[in-house]
Structure 1
Amino acid sequence: MTQRHSRAGRPFSSPRLHKRRSARASTRALLSISLAITSLPALAQSSVQLYGIIDNGISYTNNVASTVGGKGASRVGLATGFGSGDRFGLTGSEDLGDGNKAIFTLENGFSGINGTLGQGGRMFGRQAFAGLSNPRWGTLTFGRQYEFGFVYLSPFESWTQFGSIYGAHIGDVDNTFSTFRLNQSVKYEYSPMAGLTLGALYAFSNQSATSGSTGFANNRALGLGIQYQRGPIGAAATFLHLSNPSASAANSTNPGGAIGDEYTLSTSLFYNSAFVSRQDVIGVAGSYSFGDARVSAVFTDTRLRYQNGQDLRVDNYEINTRYQFSPAIVAGIGYIFTDASGYAGTGATSFASGTRPRWHQIDAGAAYYFSKRTDLHASVIYQRAAGDATVAAINAFGPAGAGVKNQVAVLAGLRHRF
């Protein structure tokens, strides 16, 4: 049979033949794409969550001064962040497969009554870290983080369970209130069994090992912790070591080290009297729950070595109880005894007339929950200076005026979580 040709001399193709060839080509293309897609790894699942707390109300204190040894007076005003520090944050994770996850948290502190940044004006002053986690091998994170005294011990204390931030231990000398976080820190937590968590942390000075007062150990930190919570029983133990933490002051030798400028607040009893060259904190805590009640006890031992060669030891003993009257109402009361011995400052920064200052403190608080996210709360803190102590100083409020041995704070506010 004679084949038909076009005028250009090329053979004609039938429409049916074109369709069959196009179908085969399309099938091959789809098959190639399918094989390429199936050969790629599965896309990882990721999530990011925005969260926060705003907590505003009214506060009263009978006497407060702006500096240790200053003149004091009563104060009434609008207050914020006293039930829980105001914050907003971003936290997220990405599933990397085989149980591995990439994680991060960026958390900002701010004032709910004037909008200013907290933690010395840092954008993410509360927390800023990233890391990896695995249910079998634990969690490793890097950045600005809480040390274990706050993470493991503070849940047993009055101020976190039913009171306000002002009910923390005097001067926050044991850092269970987390006056300062740790910068440049590497933190590892591991759970070998249900309910048990072990932790270790190291925060770098980020300074070269030069001579004099500067060097690798100038403003660095080391922390260890263990906690257990299973059924009605809870327990924790922690250790924290700081090397030259006062070097964090703006005009000192390493303000960019592990501890930031929060350490050297003018209202602190224990850190501004002299340069602190070493600080060691040991803490233990335990609790038992029965029915709607929980009883907790906390002990911390803090040793301070000052550059002038003087030493100070501060022991805090706390016992408290919390009761859940209904799903909407919780209340509690706690007692803290602070027993110190040794160097008590000099001149304007002196807080004792001798070497044995002591303080008694009572925390009481209650909250009514409209929902899981919104509550009204109120707290009362009373502190009395005893022994050689010459001034009371409720945490975060600031010390009472010179010679004032009794300090009272009363607070009430509305807290909303989102």
Structure 2
Amino acid sequence: MKQTQFLILGGMLLSGACGSAAAQSDVTMYGIIDVGVTHIDNLPGGSKTYMRPGSKDGSRLGFLGSEDLGGGLKAIFKLEAGFNPDDGTAGQAGSLFNRAAYLGLSDRKLGTLTLGRQYSSYFDAINPLGPVPVVTGAAGDHPGDIDGFDITIRSNNAIKYTSPTWHGITASAMVATGEQAGHNGSGGEHSASIKYEGGGWRHALAYQMLKNGPSQTGWDSTASTSFSKSAVNAGYLSAADVQYIAAASRYGQDNWTLGGSFSNVQYHANAASLFRDTAIFNTGAVLASWKTQSPWVLGAGFSYTRASRANGISDNANYRQFSLQQAYWLSSRTSIYILEATQRARGKTLGTDGVSVIDAGATIGVSQSGNVASDAHQTLLGIGLRHAF
């Protein structure tokens, strides 16, 4: 859907508000505080034990609001700031509401239109069926969050439309712009998704395209969208754009769920890129969770990521990762959790210069991307406390 179509829809929603009296408004403050201790081995300087914020759920403070405009139309907003409880710093330097900051209109018949900093349609559909709810991002993300299933991709200057749910089916589309003078089309994003929920089943199919800005030596910091950077994709950050296609399914009953996903991510090169051939990463994953009769909730996940043969590499990189989570719920809002993960990397990949061929290094999930193993193996153990309010 083109941006002009979003604006037309916005006009329709605004016209529906004309003449309607405000009936009721509501604002909710909410948040999560999550902090723990993590031990990770096989680093160049040896093992490391440190206090880590947000191992299970990223710590945040948010405000969610709506006003009833009458006739089924509502004005809505969301402001959400991430922070690090271990030292009190912002989750992203220089940004207050770094997780979300948007305003919109929601109509029960026409759907919802939002404008501002927000997650893409791709993320909204895929993330709930990925590893984060079952084995968490700290230990369970697909290596380097290569397919964007975690919360590392957020878009500025975004306009998103989400349809009403019809027979369990919901569709969504979003566009975001780089807003750089003289570089129309640079640094933007567009995405679309469709999902279904019913009879214990949840399915999602989604697409996303991120465009680099004019400064392509690494991913341009002025692009509207940033994404996870790790040893997995370090040689391909000068891409002209990155394309994501993903499908996921999950089936669940009252106390257990089973699910799986597949993703295809392509880093496309142009004349300004440091590498020359399209780099492709395919990831398959399975997940399971079980809520026992006691307060324990258990989760397990396995993922396999494989890069394509390109850029002079014949022994292409691949990553196998197995993750576990055990959460003991003291109440509906407070839990103690334990995380375990192990990864083995094999093959070759490109170094940060986009030219040198190097051994693939293990790097668990995405939150450990700064702790690349000294060789092909890495193991993580963590314990933490999480409280929501």
- 1:271, CA displacement in angstroms? 4.3
What CA distance in whole angstroms lies between the structure 1 residues aligned with 2:363 and 2:142? Answer: 10
- 1:399, CA displacement in angstroms? 5.4
- 1:332, CA displacement in angstroms? 1.6
Q: Does 1:238 align with 2:206?
A: yes
Contact 1:218 1:247 in 2 (8 A): no
Give the unaligned 5+ runs of structure 2.
1-18, 349-358
- 1:44, CA displacement in angstroms? 2.8
- 1:380, CA displacement in angstroms? 0.5
What CA distance in whole angstroms lies between the structure 1 residues aligned with 2:231 and 2:134? Answer: 24
- 1:147, CA displacement in angstroms? 1.4
- Greater Rg, structure 1 or structure 2? 1
- 1:257, CA displacement in angstroms? 3.2
Q: Does 1:111 align with 2:84?
A: yes
Q: Does 1:95 align with 2:68?
A: yes
Could you tell me which amino acid in structure 2 is paired with residue 150 of structure 1?
A: F
Q: Which residue of 1 aligns with 2:189?
A: 221
Could you tell me which amino acid in structure 2 is paired with residue 325 of structure 1?
A: T
* Structure with more helix by fraction: 1
Q: Which residue of 1 aligns with 2:386?
A: 415
Counterpart selection for 2:142 from 165, 169, 172: 169
Equivalent residues in 2 for 1:171-186, closer than 5 Å: 171-186=144-159
Q: Does 1:275 align with 2:230?
A: no
Could you tell me which amino acid in structure 2 is paired with residue 410 of structure 1?
A: L
Q: Which residue of 2 aligns with 1:336?
A: 303
What CA distance in whole angstroms lies between the structure 2 residues aligned with 1:275 and 1:87? Answer: 31
Q: Which residue of 1 aligns with 2:362?
A: 392
Q: How many residues in Structure 1 have an aligned counterpart in Structure 2?
A: 356
Q: Which residue of 1 aligns with 2:168?
A: 195
Give the unaligned 5+ runs of structure 1.
1-39, 65-70, 346-352
What CA distance in whole angstroms lies between the structure 2 residues aligned with 1:416 and 1:78? Answer: 17
- 1:248, CA displacement in angstroms? 8.3
Equivalent residues in 2 for 1:9-408, closer than 5 Å: 42-64=21-43, 71-208=44-181, 210=182, 215-244=183-212, 247=215, 255-260=221-226, 263=227, 265=229, 267-271=230-234, 273-306=236-269, 307-308=273-274, 309-326=276-293, 328-343=295-310, 354-388=314-348, 390-394=360-364, 395-398=366-369, 401=372, 403-408=374-379
Contact 1:154 1:176 in 2 (8 A): yes
What CA distance in whole angstroms lies between the structure 1 residues aligned with 2:169 and 2:77? Answer: 23
Contact 1:383 1:407 in 2 (8 A): yes
**C-alpha distance 256-391 of structure 1, shift in aligned 2 (>3 A):** closer
Cα shift readout 1:224-256 (whole Å, capped 9, x = no counterpart): 01111112111001000112258488x98x633
* TM-score (ref. length: structure 1): 0.79
What CA distance in whole angstroms lies between the structure 1 residues aligned with 2:326 and 2:131? Answer: 11
- 1:217, CA displacement in angstroms? 1.3
- Moved beyond 6 Å, runs of 4+: none
Could you tell me which amino acid in structure 2 is paired with residue 303 of structure 1?
A: Q
| RMSD after superposition | 2.3
* TM-score (ref. length: structure 2): 0.85
- 1:156, CA displacement in angstroms? 1.7
Contact 1:81 1:111 in 2 (8 A): yes
Could you tell me which amino acid in structure 1 is paired with residue 52 of structure 2?
A: A
What CA distance in whole angstroms lies between the structure 1 residues aligned with 2:56 and 2:152? Answer: 15
What CA distance in whole angstroms lies between the structure 2 residues aligned with 1:117 and 1:131? Answer: 25
Q: Which residue of 2 aligns with 1:12?
A: none
